[in-house]
Amino acid sequence: MKVIRAKSAGFCWGVERAIDIAKEFATKGRRPVFTDGPLIHNSQMMEKLESEGIREVGDYESRSQLDLNLDDSQRGKAVMVVRAHGVSPERRKYLKSLGMEFRDATCPDVGTIAGHINTHASKGFSTVIFGDPKHPEVIGLMGYTRGRGHVIKNEGDIASLPPLGDKVCLVSQSTMFTFEFERLAECLKRVYPGVLVFNTICGATRERQGDVRVLAEQGAEAIVVIGGRHSANTVKLAALVEKYGLPCFHVETAEELDLNRLRQYSVVGVTAGASTPGFLIDEACAKLTAAQ
């Protein structure tokens, strides 16, 4: 079996930055280092970080109140890190009120989206966000809309929007499909011809989506997608493989590989989400290469 590994597989720079921020405190003895919800959407990496003194608290959506049970001396050493997906302004204010050092590890690309929303919301614009309303990135971004935010996933959602007036801007969750965003932007323009459109799908997402096409062009007969099942960009990669008409094997670890089925293919492509650590990709590629 020939194994082709996508060039973009593995951590994006925003995820790597968030991990480095948390690790920097932990290696200097500042423990515990708390993250408000999972720092990244990969349970294997979160387990590894926990062994290094980095502890996930709260919930997936960063909504719950935190009961950390720290005395004053412990609180003085603890650090609260905002995860790569970012949080709303209200959540940021709450986390800062907990009395420990605060560090923001929001991906700068997500910060740029928040900046677009905040700037235009201050000018009276309504914001339409293309994304998953339950995803923590979108939940955080909604906090910048000043109560004039709406989330859409399809054309039906556009038809269901209330009247938004003359000032409307459109942004995207950073991990969505580019072609879907462009299609929905055209649809929204028919309703609001003056809508300001900001294509905020991040470069890392676009690169990974493009690499699926490259794997297909290189002769991949099936593609393994490695990454967490809660990772939006990983799930999108798996869906894109199927759009290309190729068999897709979405796994979190090498142990989940179905070698009996994969052996029927001469060439297998491997890609991974932006929050998938390199060691998981290495293990999967090694197991595939050794399969006879």
Active site members: 137
Helix (H) or strand (E) segment spanning residue 187:
helix 178-191
Measure Cα distances from 39 to 9, 80, 90, 180, 193 in Å: 19, 11, 19, 27, 39
Helix (H, G, I), strand (E, B) or coil at 233: helix
How many CA atoms, within 13 angstroms, populate the side-chain half-sphere of residue 15? 23
Asked whether the beta carbons of 174 and 152 are under 8 A apart, the reply is no
Two tokens, residue 274:
């932006």
The answer to whether the CB of 170 falls within 8 A of the CB of 199 is no
Provide the 8-state DSSP code for 255: G
The DSSP code for 36 is: E
Residue 128: both structure tokens together: 């339409």
CA distance 101 to 237: 36
Radius of gyration from C-alpha coordinates of the chain: 21
Largest CA distance in the chain: 62
